[in-house]
């Protein structure tokens, strides 16, 4: 039995040696056994020495020297088995983990290779695909199709001399831009008189000067103020510029990866060194006007962002420059508006020089229509041009009406089979075009040769256009002295009502006429609102005519504030008011004498008479000796 047990132990020792050889491999086991001084023992033919060598190798302890007693051999073998079992389990786990790692590496490698392939394909074939190429082809076809040039583009003035009726304004604009220190300019005037065209052509003209402040490549950046909106979140500002952060606002991909914000330059920087033209600048938000004012003062745009780090080495130089120095924005602002100056920011208005464009006269509208007809190579009857001048005072609308009539002529010729022959715009065709546009005459050409009692033509102004205000009065003697009543339409406004009381006081003081002895009714025909005292003189004439039962001449209009002393005080908007009288067919206008320097000489067919006081008005509104000895000594007080 002992011999069999010893043989069994020897067999197990050999099995352990083979197992270790399999675990480590022959070379590695030899090296490890040599270091642990176990190699000679394992190669021994004596089982007890082999067991000692195995103990040194498995337990990794070269200090073991004692041979194991025969009784303890089985227990030592079992102990070595436990150690090898743990080693094999750990080895198996490591192999499993290594296998999974290898699989993951292979998967990632495959994904990486696929990404490289996609990038290579993208570089070779570009960003296009069949769908994008199809859309590109469709866009090419759309670009190739062109109906025609718009009428306004074709007929727009090509040189400054072709701008009709604005010689003074054009000269003023060019002289400002030609200065060594050109100021910012705001163009005021009614729509369709050439403000935008003048601004475009003025820069071209100034570039020709030897000492021009603008370079030959100076830009002209044009934008409509109605399209500019201020975003309080500062996400986007096409006028001033903004900063796109790398997370939410779509900065460039290479900047997003580094967390770098990207400044986007606005129109003010695009116009650097040239002109920024803002049409309808009066429609801009006041907050945006204030921001524009800041740019005009600093001549640059400052950028700021919480994402910007000046110490970040990933920030490109140009972005660092924009954040540290700002974007250059040294330009000349030209704004155009159809609104009054009060509608603009006072701070912005005070930093800009003003140029006023005048309303176009009927004769100038006719000239524009005739010039447009020549460009279209069509004939036009003089009456057709006069018709257009009666229905519009805008050059742009006049051209549109001509083109409308031109289209009608071409259509009729096509229907009659006479296409190709010369075209001519007759008065009948033009009248049809006017009716289809639902237009009405700017002013009715009534008969002004007759005189009417209590009816006076006053002059008013709305925006940049003048008009005739019809004021009428009727007086009924009151049986009881001082019991008369006064009626006046409230829609005319408090200023007009005050003018009635001033006129009544002047009549009593200078002519001894007490309106309280009459039931007096005054009316502003049409219910218009009079927001100033300029109708005072007209109201005085109307009351005087009604009370004295004397007719008033209708071929003369008047404007002027009336003082309690009977003097005519100066008023504003004189040019526009004279224009309104001209449209109404009135050839004579009485204005305050203090306004004589403001009288516009663009109306050679108009007679403009200055007047100092109410005494100067009588000969112009009443025939002959209709009011003999009425003025102008102060009447005694009737107490």
Is 577 labeled as catalytic in the residue annotation? Answer: yes
Among the listed residues 176, 195, 300, 577, the single catalytic one is: 577
Burial (CB count <10 Å: 0-12, 13-18, 19+), residue 463: middle
How far is the CA of 388 from the CAs of 307, 400, 443, in angstroms?
60, 10, 13
Confidence of residue 635 (pLDDT cuts 50, 70, 90): very low
Angle at CA of residue 100, ends 98 and 102, nearest 5°: 70
Which pLDDT tens digit goes with each residue over 575-628?
Answer: 888 888 887 788 889 999 888 777 766 677 788 888 988 888 888 888 754 555
- Percent with pLDDT over 90 in the chain: 7
Cis peptide before 632 (omega within 30 of 0): yes
Backbone angles phi, psi at 473, to 5 degrees: -145, 150
Q: Given CA atoms 276, 278, 279, 281 in this order, what sign does their dihedral have?
A: negative
Tens digit of pLDDT for each residue in 215-238?
889 999 999 888 887 666 666 788
559, 538 Cβ separation under 8 angstroms: yes
**What is the rounded (10 degree) CA torsion for 130, 135, 137, 142?**
170
Identify the helix (H) or strand (E) that includes residue 111: helix 73-125
Report the phi/psi class of residue 463: left, alpha or beta, with left for phi > 0 and alpha for psi in -120 to 50. left
| pLDDT (0 to 100) of residue 252 | 56
Comparing CA positions, the residue from 537, 532, 521, 538 lying closest to residue 469 is 538
Tens digit of each residue's pLDDT (9 = 90 or more) over 247-284: 655 555 556 555 677 788 889 999 999 999 999 888 88
DSSP 32-82: HHHHTT-HHHHTSS-HHHHHHHHHHHHHT-TT--SPPPGGGHHHHHHHHHH
Cβ contact 521:558 at 8 Å: no
Average pLDDT score over residue span 540-561: 88
186 confidence band (pLDDT: 50, 70, 90): very high
Mean pLDDT computed over 22-36 = 77
Q: Class for domain 166-356, per CATH?
A: alpha beta
Cα gap 165→170, rounded to integer Å:
10
Whole-number pLDDT of residue 573: 81
pTM of the model: 0.69
Which stretch of DSSP H or E encloses residue 275?
strand 275-279
Looking at the domain covering 451-621, what would its CATH class be? Answer: alpha beta
Is the torsion defined by CA of 121, 124, 126, 131 positive or negative? negative
* Greater pLDDT, 21 or 240: 240
Which tens digit of pLDDT belongs to each residue from 144-167? Answer: 766 655 666 777 888 888 888 888
Q: Which residue has the higher pLDDT, 255 or 454?
A: 454
Query: Among all chains, which residue has been given the structure tokens 């009726």?
Result: 165
269 is catalytic: no
Of the pLDDT bands very low, low, confident and very high (cuts 50, 70, 90), residue 634 is: very low
Of 269, 345, 389, 534, the active-site residue reads 534
Q: Which of 311-325, 329-343, 490-504 has the lowest mean pLDDT?
A: 490-504
pLDDT at residue 637, as a whole number: 42
Average pLDDT in the 451-469 region? 82
- Rounded-to-integer distance, Cα 162 and Cα 397, Å: 17
Looking at the predicted structure, is the pLDDT value of residue 315 above 50?
A: yes
Which 3 state secondary structure label does DSSP give 553? strand
Euclidean distance between CA atoms 635 and 638, whole angstroms:
9
Each residue's pLDDT tens digit, 504-524: 888 888 878 888 888 888 888
Per the prediction, the chain carries an average pLDDT of: 80
When mean pLDDT is compared across 397-406, 437-446, 501-510, the lowest value belongs to 437-446
Give mean pLDDT, residues 206-216.
88
- DSSP 3-state assignment of 263? strand
Residue 485 burial by Cβ neighbours in a 10 Å radius (0-12, 13-18, 19+)? exposed
Question: How far is Cα 333 from Cα 278, in angstroms, rounded to an integer?
Answer: 8
- Considering the segment(s) 365-436 as one domain, its CATH architecture is Orthogonal Bundle (1.10)
The values of phi and psi at residue 440, to 5°, are -125, 155
Confidence of residue 395 (pLDDT cuts 50, 70, 90): confident
Tokens of residue 622, six digits: 């009443």
Instruction: Say if residue 347's pLDDT is above 50.
Output: yes
Residues 594, 560: Cα–Cα separation, whole Å: 10
Write the DSSP string, 619-630.
Answer: HHHS-TTSSTT-
CA angle 3, 9, 14 (to 5 degrees): 130
The arithmetic mean of pLDDT across residues 95-104, rounded, is: 82
Q: Do residues 509 and 634 lie in contact, with contact meaning Cβ atoms separated by under 8 Å? A: yes
Given a cut of 80, whether residue 386 has pLDDT beyond it is yes
Is the confidence at residue 56, as pLDDT, over 80?
Answer: no
Instruction: Say whether pLDDT at 396 is over 60.
Output: yes
Q: Characterize the bridge pairing of strands 327-328 and 300-301.
A: antiparallel
For residue 630, pLDDT over 60 is answered with no
In this prediction, residue 111 carries a pLDDT of 78
pLDDT at 452: 85
Main-chain dihedrals φ then ψ at residue 336, nearest 5 degrees:
-125, 140
């Amino acid at each position: 039995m002992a011999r069999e047990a010893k043989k069994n132990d020897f067999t197990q020792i050999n099995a352990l040696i083979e197992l270790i050889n399999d675990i480590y491999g022959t070379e590695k086991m030899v090296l490890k056994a040599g270091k642990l001084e176990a190699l000679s023992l394992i190669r021994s033919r004596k089982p007890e020495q082999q067991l000692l060598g195995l103990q040194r190798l498995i337990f990794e302890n070269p200090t073991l020297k004692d041979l194991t007693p025969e009784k303890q051999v089985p227990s030592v073998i079992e102990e070595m088995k436990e150690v090898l079992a743990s080693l094999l389990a750990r080895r198996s786990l490591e192999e499993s983990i290594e296998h999974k790692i290898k699989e993951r590496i292979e998967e990632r490698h495959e994904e990486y290779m696929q990404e490289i392939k996609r990038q290579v394909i993208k570089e070779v074939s570009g960003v296009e695909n069949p769908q994008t190429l199809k859309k590109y082809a469709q866009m090419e076809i759309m670009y190739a199709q062109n109906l025609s040039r718009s009428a306004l583009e074709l007929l727009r003035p090509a040189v400054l001399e072709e701008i009709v009726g604005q010689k003074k304004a054009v000269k003023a604009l060019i002289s400002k831009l030609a200065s060594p220190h050109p100021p910012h300019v705001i163009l005021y005037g009614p729509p369709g008189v050439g403000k935008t065209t003048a601004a475009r052509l003025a820069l071209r003209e100034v570039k020709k000067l030897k000492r021009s402040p603008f370079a030959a490549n100076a830009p002209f950046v044009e934008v409509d103020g109605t399209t500019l909106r201020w975003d309080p979140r500062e996400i986007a500002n096409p006028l001033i510029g903004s900063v796109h952060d790398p997370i939410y606002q779509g900065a460039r991909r290479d900047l997003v990866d580094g967390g770098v914000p990207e400044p986007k330059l606005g129109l003010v920087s695009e116009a650097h060194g040239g002109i920024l033209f803002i049409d309808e600048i009066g429609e801009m938000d006041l907050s945006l006007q204030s921001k524009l004012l800041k740019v005009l003062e600093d001549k640059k745009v400052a950028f700021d962002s919480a994402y910007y780090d000046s110490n970040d080495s990933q920030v490109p130089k140009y972005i660092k420059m924009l954040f540290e120095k700002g974007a250059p924005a040294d330009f000349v602002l030209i704004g155009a508006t159809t609104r009054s100056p009060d509608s603009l920011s006072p701070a912005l208005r005070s930093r800009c020089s003003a140029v006023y464009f005048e309303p176009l006269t009927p004769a100038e509208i006719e000239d524009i229509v005739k010039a447009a007809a020549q460009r279209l190579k069509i004939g036009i009857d003089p009456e057709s041009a006069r018709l257009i001048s009666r229905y519009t005072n805008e050059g742009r609308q006049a051209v549109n009406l001509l083109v409308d009539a031109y289209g009608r002529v071409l259509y009729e010729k096509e229907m009659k089979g006479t296409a190709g022959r010369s075209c001519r715009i007759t008065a009948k065709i033009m009248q049809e075009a006017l009716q289809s546009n639902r237009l009405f005459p700017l002013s009715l050409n009534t008969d002004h040769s007759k005189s009417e009692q209590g009816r006076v033509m006053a002059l008013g102004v709305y925006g940049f256009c003048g008009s005739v205000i019809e004021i009428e009065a009727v007086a009924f003697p009151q049986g009881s002295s001082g019991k008369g009543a006064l009626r006046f339409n409230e829609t005319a406004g408090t200023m007009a009502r005050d003018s009635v009381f001033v006129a009544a006081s002047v009549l009593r003081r200078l002519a001894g006429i007490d309106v309280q002895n009459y039931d007096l009714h005054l009316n502003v025909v049409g219910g218009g609102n009079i927001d100033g005292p300029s109708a005072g003189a007209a109201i005085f004439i109307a009351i005087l005519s009604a009370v004295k039962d004397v007719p008033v001449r209708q071929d003369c209009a008047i404007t002027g504030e009336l003082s309690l002393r009977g003097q005519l005080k100066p008023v504003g908007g004189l040019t526009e008011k004279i224009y309104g009288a001209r449209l109404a067919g009135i050839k004579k206008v009485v204005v305050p004498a203090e306004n004589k320097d403001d009288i516009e000489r663009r109306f050679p067919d108009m007679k403009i008479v200055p007047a100092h006081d109410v005494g100067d008005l009588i000969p112009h509104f009443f025939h002959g000796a209709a009011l003999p000895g009425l003025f102008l000594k102060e009447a005694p007080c009737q107490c």
